Structure 1
């Protein structure tokens, strides 16, 4: 590797194998647009963290993710878990999206057309975005996220999505409807902004960017670089109500409903007060269960956007 090279990380299983099928075309286009790069395929979950570590040791600061939201999530975590060896703010990340949901790119209008996505990366227009840091109490584990995270219902949905991924982005909607029938609310104690919520809760969603769940807009999005999370809290909802307001899940108007509560905060603490196994998700990846602390890292990482 050379210092001025791009390091391209390809998740071959992303998008139900789309990344592997499209790689030769993507490779050819990168060459056509005169990129100087090396590349590697991930071979197992979180392999990108090891690849990032090796690249950083060689002084590489420019990365391209060929994958979806999960692939980008692991690359971000690989970078932050090696923050002691590099100034993170010199790193640049571009994405060629080939995932199932491709939610992160929607906030910035990055094209799913790989040629156009490569053109965007070529221009190297950078944007310093906030990053979320979650500390899980039961394992003293730290996870970073660049899009949205949450505990409760949305993590339950993510857990089902993997069973329906062959349906493409519709998998998220199917999983949502399926989970409404099956999910049991957990008793949570949530602290933020000197406020305490203590009751059986359906979900607590913590957003940086605008979209999740295959294009749903579930937070009152303000900015991805204002140093605040966009928070949505909901204690209960039923299938009939979901079906009645289903379009609002996608057009951003769900937060206008009187039973949906929206807040902003730079940090929060969550405790699970019952014995339910309450899942936590970050960027569509299940990261654990139980109590956690989350705080924002303002303008912490450079992404390449249009």
Structure 2
């Protein structure tokens, strides 16, 4: 097993911030005497190719220099490759994204020097990972933070227009879209329960934060082998405006319009002709019906000691 680290930098992360910050990050890594290689991604699936080559060199320590989307891509590359030594792989991050939601759960600093110190200490947690099987294109998508269908996916579809707003992009997209969005007719099955009704959105969470720091799922535990489900039948623009604080402090999950559940797997059938958007970790991954299951303790993430 190689002691070398491999850093994957997405130059477009954080509206180009990752590319600008790489020189001081590189200098700090040299100062801290890291033994490492690095590469900039050149296209969406480049991470897969880079990780595949690194695994052949027995490299097991990977660092994402980017945001939630880059981390999502790296997680999917590792789990789709499914190496024999998967349990030995460690994955860390120097957050340089737009929202940096995943790191908030573990209080990983946005300061690159502090993030590097966390990486150097190599304390890991075996986090659960979600696995989606999307019927539309018979695809498998993994997620490490939160997935959703309905309004959540619709906002992700639209949010690229507001990327320049940084962490406020999702909230802006949500507020501008809520009045015109048409609810989806979904069948949701889990825990011997079946919900058949018009649904605004269904959230499937593992970690605490999404949408630029919002807390939209309840009783989060990243290692309990269970998804945290929030099902919202309806909510108005006025209700959203009255509860903006609750979106960010988690109190929205106690609202009478939000129903909370725990489950390890579920099946969602989209009954509409016009198929509903699905997002995973803030990335649009498909439309329509899918199944979700949780993989307990699937991946070792480098996080601060707690």
TM-score, normalised by the number of residues in structure 2: 0.98
Give the aligned partner of residue 153 of structure 1.
Answer: 151
In structure 2, C-alpha distance between the alignment counterparts of 1:279 and 1:42, rounded to whole Å: 26
Runs of 4+ in structure 1 displaced over 4 angstroms?
none
**Aligned-residue CA RMSD in angstroms?**
0.9
Shift of 1:177: 0.3
Unaligned runs of 5+ in 1: none
Does the 8 A contact of 1:207 with 1:221 survive in 2? Answer: no
> What's 2:48 paired with?
49
Gaps of 5+ in 2: none
Aligned to 1:10: 9
Q: Which residue of 1 aligns with 2:36?
A: 37
Please give the TM-score of this superposition, normalised by the length of structure 1.
Answer: 0.98
Q: Is the 8 A contact 2:136 2:286 kept in 1?
A: no
Query: Cα deviation per residue 1:74-97 (whole Å; 9 max; x = unaligned)?
Result: 0000000110x3221110011000
Q: Are residue 126 (structure 1) and residue 124 (structure 2) matched? A: yes
**Aligned counterparts of 1:17 and 1:274: Cα–Cα separation in 2:** 38
SS at match of 1:162: helix
2:187 corresponds in structure 1 to 189
Q: Deviations over 1:179-218 (max 9, x none)?
A: 2022111100000100000011000100000000000000
1:156-171 matches, within 5 Å, as 156-171=154-169
Q: Is the 8 A contact 2:147 2:203 kept in 1?
A: yes
> Aligned pairs, how many?
304
Shift of 1:28: 0.4
For 1:256 and 1:245, the matched residues in 2 are separated by 11
Q: CA deviation at 1:137?
A: 1.1
For 2:132 and 2:6, locate their aligned partners in 1 and report how far apart those are by CA, in whole Å: 27
Distance in 2, matches of 1:222 and 1:107, equals 9
The correspondence of residues 1-306 of structure 1 with structure 2, limited to 5 A, is 3-83=2-82, 85-306=83-304
- Counterparts of 1:136 and 1:158 in 2: how far apart (Å)? 17
